[in-house]
Amino acid sequence: MAERRVTIGWAEGLHARPASVFVKAVTSTGVPMTIAKEGGTPVNAGSMLGLLALGAAGGDAVVLSSDADGAEAALDRVAKLVQEGLDELPAA
């Protein structure tokens, strides 16, 4: 299983607009992945409801995980998006 530990770069955390950006980015990779607050229960990273239920705030550490083909590259891209608080998924 591939994992990336990152700190949320959006000041408002994974709520509202950043959550929407995150879910769109995850689904656009075509790689299923989960997200969890460190030590917490993983949720489907492509689910807006699951993501909002995390209650992840800006500066919180999260773990992105996947065991699918192409996971390493997809996790790298999504991790960069989260850590830097970007508005769109970085180029592959």
Active site residue 74: no
- Only one residue has tokens 């996790």, namely 75
Q: Please tell me which residue in 2, 15, 40, 86 is annotated as part of the active site.
A: 15
User: What are the CA-CA distances from residue 60 to residues 10, 82, 90 (Å)?
Assistant: 10, 11, 21
Instruction: Please list the active-site residues.
Output: 15
